Every structure is written in structure tokens, then in C-alpha cells.
Amino acid sequence: MRCPSCANLDDKVVDSRIADDGAAIRRRRACLACGRRYTTFERIEEVPLVVVKRSGQREPFERAKVAAGLRAATKNRAGVADRVEELAAELEESLRLEGPEVTSQKVGVAVLERLRVLDEVAYLRFASVYKGFEDVGDFEREVGLLTKATEPKQRTTPPEGD
């Protein structure tokens, strides 16, 4: 690290502390040439996440876009709308584990998976836009898939041998 006062490269770390809720490390340094003290911060440099659209166009991932879609889907849903930012951050983190590029389809499916667990109405709202529902039949089909995937099968008769 170069001293801001004399530009010397020799320094020593006097103190290190966690900063920004664990997202950075604050280091207090002393220049070995002039004795001046200064503070530096270390942060993880994140590789930009790129979304590959259906058209082949690439654009940077924007958590705000995902949050806006989640906000629209969860509007007026008690206890769900306040989890939007947390969900968007969780989704971004899981997508980053996939690599530096993800398809827009993968982003949409990841949103749907989280909404299915969180709130079925929000799931249907998001699915109607994401999947481009055109009539009531599309909603009926999706509700059928949703209930089939979420409800455990009920036994109507006891198993033999009981």
C-alpha cells in the first residue's frame, strides 16, 4: 500500500477489524518512512454476473430488476412483500454459484422456485407474466401443476395386511 503522505510503499499494519457487517476488513496502517497513520479497507472483488437473454444479448445482472418483479408479484400479500430484498439477494447469491453467466430462463425459473415455496398466489402472478399466460386455461393448468406439486397424495384405502 502506498502512503498517501509520502508515497512510500513500506508500512505496517497496526490494527485490523471487521467492517460493514463482515463484508470488509478495516486496517489501520503506519508508514515506516514518515510515521503517518492511515486507514485502508479490503473487500472481495465480485466478478460481474451476466445474464444471457433469449436473443443472445448479454447484460449485467441487476438485483433491482428481480426485486421489482418480486415486489409486483407479492403486492398486497401479508407477510410476504417484506421479504423481497432478502429473496432477491438469496437468488443472486445462488446464481453467482452457477458461474459468471446465467440465462434469463434460469433466472426466471429460480424466481418461480422461490415463490412457489414462499406464496402460491405470488407464484401464479409471476408465472402469468413470465410464462405469458393468454387465457384462463393457462391459469387452470398452472394451478393444477402447483397443487399437484405441493399437496401430498392422500390414501383412500388402508394398505393390505393392516
- For residue 116, the model assigns a pLDDT of 87
Q: In the β-sheet with 101-103, what is the strand arrangement from edge to edge?
A: 58-60, 50-52, 101-103
Between 12-26, 46-60, 132-146, the lowest mean confidence (pLDDT) is in 132-146
Whether the per-residue pLDDT at 153 is higher than 60: the answer is: no
Q: What is the pLDDT of residues 66-81, one digit of tens each?
A: 999 999 999 988 888 7
Mean of per-residue pLDDT scores for the chain = 87
Place of cell 454476473: 49
Domain residue ranges in the chain: 11-43, 50-150
- For CA atoms 99, 103, 106, 112, the dihedral sign is positive
- Which pTM was predicted? 0.61
Closest to 131 measured CA to CA, from 155, 117, 115: 115
Rounded Cα distance, 36 and 87, in Å: 44
Rounded Cα distance, 18 and 103, in Å: 35
Q: What is the DSSP letter of 151?
A: S
Q: What is the pLDDT of residues 88-113, one digit of tens each?
A: 999 999 999 988 999 999 999 999 99
Whether the per-residue pLDDT at 126 is higher than 70: the answer is: yes
Give the confidence band of 149 by pLDDT, cuts at 50, 70, 90: low
- Of 158 and 16, the one with more pLDDT: 16
Whether the per-residue pLDDT at 155 is higher than 60: the answer is: no
- For residue 138, the model assigns a pLDDT of 82
Q: Nearest 5°: CA angle at 117, between 114 and 122?
A: 75
